[in-house]
A and B are shown apart, each in its own frame.
Chain A
Amino acid sequence: DQQVKQNSPSLSVQEGRISILNCDYTNSMFDYFLWYKKYPAEGPTFLISISSIKDKNEDGRFTVFLNKSAKHLSLHIVPSQPGDSAVYFCAARWTQGGSEKLVFGKGTKLTVNP
């Protein structure tokens, strides 16, 4: 049972336009959501996060929106740049047995075309 779903395996956008990456989750116990970016042959790197008590968090060109009622979050990148081309993972955090765990989606490969 996949608790964090990224239903789009890939996304292609033109440079300068907006990229919107989507993520759905099923577990209402998640209290924190994170986005990671991964380049080939490298480990994932943290991008931006949002607490479950907020609905928006912005950091430069990156904005994450959270819709708790829909159990949906999205990452907006604007304007998109070719260097943003990578695989983006959505992750959700919850506490189980006194320890925190991260659950990841399968990732969305973003390609930004010049």
Chain B
Amino acid sequence: SAVISQKPSRDICQRGTSLTIQCQVDSQVTMMFWYRQQPGQSLTLIATANQGSEATYESGFVIDKFPISRPNLTFSTLTVSNMSPEDSSIYLCSVEDRMNTEAFFGQGTRLTVV
């Protein structure tokens, strides 16, 4: 299993500002995933972050809005840029254990944009 530390756990931000969410894993992983869970909705994959290459974004998500860094095999950041109230969500980072076909999640960042 993997232990994932994600911070901040929550934040309230002004519209138009940006927030960077950090994700630290206790082991080296090839891919890290960033999800969003809007109120009443399912977890939706934003992008996949590979170390040493640009992140791969899902349909509806763009790098300018959600820039991602992956400087090494244990760390990643997701920035929510130029925030609006519609960005109020829980953001989660995740890694997968290929041997067991499981995904492990951080505790999430609850973002409220006012």
Report which A residues bind B (CB closer than 8 A): 2, 4, 32, 34, 36, 41-46, 49, 89, 91, 93, 99-107
Rounded to whole angstroms, the CA-CA distance of A114 and B81 in the bound complex is 45
**Would you mind naming 5 contact pairs between A and B with Cβ atoms under 8 Å apart?**
A34-B102, A42-B108, A91-B43, A91-B103, A104-B44
Rounded to whole angstroms, the CA-CA distance of A34 and B43 in the bound complex is 13
Closest to A39 in B: B107
B45 at the interface (CB under 8 A from A): yes
Say yes or no: A49 contacts B102, CB within 8 Å. Answer: yes
How many A-B residue pairs lie within 8 Å, measured between CB atoms?
57
Rounded to whole angstroms, the CA-CA distance of A2 and B43 in the bound complex is 12
B6, B42, B94, B107: the one contacting A2 at CB < 8 Å is: B42
B-side interface residues, number (CB < 8 Å): 25
The A interface is mostly helix, strand or loop, or mixed, namely strand
Q: Which residues of A contact B94 (CB under 8 A)?
A: 43
- Interface members, chain B 33-56 (any A CB < 8 Å): 33, 40-45, 48, 56
Q: Which residues of B contact A42 (CB under 8 A)?
A: 107-108
